[in-house]
């Protein structure tokens, strides 16, 4: 069961501002929805609170250190490793699911990057102000396996490049 990160990153590494996203990318959100539909998705508690509800059609797992934290329609894990384990166990009972999706935010990405097999990166083609970041993607560790230029549509604030990266050497 692959661990895949889904993230949109500005040219300066910014991924978020004031608990939300510093752009409007309707085309990318549609692709994200289609790519993650039916799969387990793992997110930090702050990202969950920013969205404000479970994402429909997916098994939502929220990571928090707060043992009393609960929300309707989501499963809770108290470490990232426990979240990935829970997602793998649940995914085994789902037909045709071959990956666990890590969907943010900054704290969770930083811890998930060394554990991930694949990165689905929407490169936002601008530098943007923000307070949450994605770590640099090291070319010695990651290779691009596909890339697509996506011009800004009517409901998009920026043009993007959608790139899929795979780890050069599998994690032992």
According to the binding rule CB under 6 A, does residue 54 interact with ligand NAP?
no
Query: Would you count residue 15 as binding ligand NAP (CB under 6 A)?
Result: yes
**Applying CB under 6 A, does 61 fall inside the site for ligand NAP?**
no
Q: Phi-psi category of 56—alpha, beta or left, where left has phi over 0 and alpha has psi -120 to 50? A: beta
Q: Which of 3, 5, 8, 41 binds ligand NAP (CB under 6 A)?
A: 8
Dig out the tokens for 45 from the structure: 């508690």
Cβ-Cβ contacts under 8 Å for 9 (sequence gap 6 or more):
15, 121, 122, 123, 124, 134
User: Which residue of 41, 59, 80, 128 would you call a contact of ligand NAP, by CB under 6 A?
Assistant: 80
Query: If binding is defined by CB under 6 A, does position 7 make contact with ligand NAP?
Result: yes
Q: Is 40 in the site for ligand NAP (CB under 6 A)?
A: no
With a CB cutoff of 8 Å and minimum separation 6, the contacts of 167 are 116, 117, 118, 141, 142
Question: Nearer Cβ to ligand NAP, position 87 or 108?
Answer: 108
52 or 96, CB closer to ligand NAP?
Answer: 52
Six-digit token string for 151 = 């011009």
| Binding segment (CB under 6 A) for ligand NAP, from list 84-92, 93-101, 106-114, 151-159 | 106-114
Considering only residues 139 through 168, tell me which ones interact with ligand NAP, judged by CB under 6 A: none
- The neighbouring-strand residues paired with 9 are 123
Helices (H), the chain: 26-36, 45-51, 80-92, 106-112
Residues that bind ligand NAP (CB under 6 A): 7-8, 15-17, 19-21, 43-47, 50, 63-66, 69, 78-80, 103-108, 111, 132
């Amino acid at each position: 069961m692959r661990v895949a990160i889904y993230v949109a990153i500005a040219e300066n590494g910014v991924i978020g501002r004031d608990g939300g996203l510093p752009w409007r990318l309707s085309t990318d959100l549609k692709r994200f929805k289609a790519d993650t539909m039916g799969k387990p998705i793992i997110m930090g508690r702050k990202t969950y609170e920013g969205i404000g509800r479970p994402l429909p059609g997916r098994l939502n797992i929220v990571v928090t250190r707060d043992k009393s934290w609960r929300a309707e329609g989501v499963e809770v894990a108290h470490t990232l490793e426990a979240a990935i384990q829970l997602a793998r166990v649940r995914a085994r009972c789902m037909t045709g699911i071959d990956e666990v999706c890590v969907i943010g935010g900054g704290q969770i990405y930083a811890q998930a990057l060394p554990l991930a097999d694949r990165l689905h990166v929407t490169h936002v083609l601008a530098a943007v102000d923000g307070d949450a970041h994605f770590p640099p993607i090291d070319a010695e560790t990651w290779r691009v396996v596909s890339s697509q230029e996506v011009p800004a549509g009517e409901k998009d604030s920026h043009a993007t490049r959608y790139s899929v990266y795979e780890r050069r050497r599998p994690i032992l």
